[in-house]
Amino acid sequence: MPNQNQPNYLRIFQGFPYLVTRVVSVLYHIILLPIDFNFKSLLDIACIQAEANQLKTCLVLGNKCSIYLDGNRNGTVTDRPPSSSHCVIRKLFPPYDFPQTEELKKRKAELKAFIKACRGGGYIMGDITKGGRDATPEELERLAGEQKKGVPKGLFYCPTCNGWYGECLDPNPIFEGKVMKVYCRCQNNNLCARCKQPLSDYKLNANYLGEDGQIWHEPGFCGLSHLCPDRRKK
């Protein structure tokens, strides 16, 4: 259970081992792992999860032992596990189902209690800046205006998905002078580790060009609504 003397965002769940996936900056997803799996098996699961989800993933083995992984099976060992006051479970699924032992069921109950005790208030949002940056004078000149069908200059057409990708100035006056990176559907590499299908329609924590000609942001929590095809039927 959490140490009540610590702020919510510093509390670390003690039911090791488990995976933590960063969904957005203040929202983490936790997957409990079998306690009797050896280190190699746990690391393999973590690598598969990180490679499929393409989200920042951490294998937490103890208070002083964690391995942060990127989507290319590269890991960094640290003594600082991730922590957040906003955590969720059963939204991202591991590569396969684990045996439901009594020990694992007990940790699941403890994790639910931990999440409830640490839960913060307010709303969770994606990156309201859409990852934009100030345009250089050269970019302001080169990217000014539109190409065919009102598409911002700097974007390229993808004949596979009929979408657009590249970098352009945001047409929204609120983001005037900001360069935005845009992805088409083909560049969506955030997959479910279980069924290998996309977690969302577009790349998570990234931007896409909408049918209205505006640039929209796809926050990471959009991927938490994914259901594998076989579970969708159920």
Q: How far is CA 182 from CA 34, 128, 154, 210, 212, in A?
A: 39, 15, 10, 10, 15
Tell me the β-bridge partners of 84.
none
- Calculate the dihedral angle through the C-alpha atoms of 149, 151, 157, 158, rounding to the nearest 10 degrees: -100
How do the domains of the chain map onto residue ranges?
Answer: 8-118, 133-233
156 has a pLDDT exceeding 80? yes
- Whether the CA torsion 182, 199, 217, 115 is positive or negative: it is negative
Poorest-pLDDT segment among 56-60, 64-68, 124-128? 124-128
91 has a pLDDT exceeding 90? yes
162 has a pLDDT exceeding 60? yes
Note the pLDDT of residue 234.
Answer: 59
The 10s digit of each residue's pLDDT in 5-15 is 444 445 789 99
230 has a pLDDT exceeding 90? no
Note the pLDDT of residue 1.
Answer: 35
Note the pLDDT of residue 84.
Answer: 76
* Number of residues that make up the chain: 234
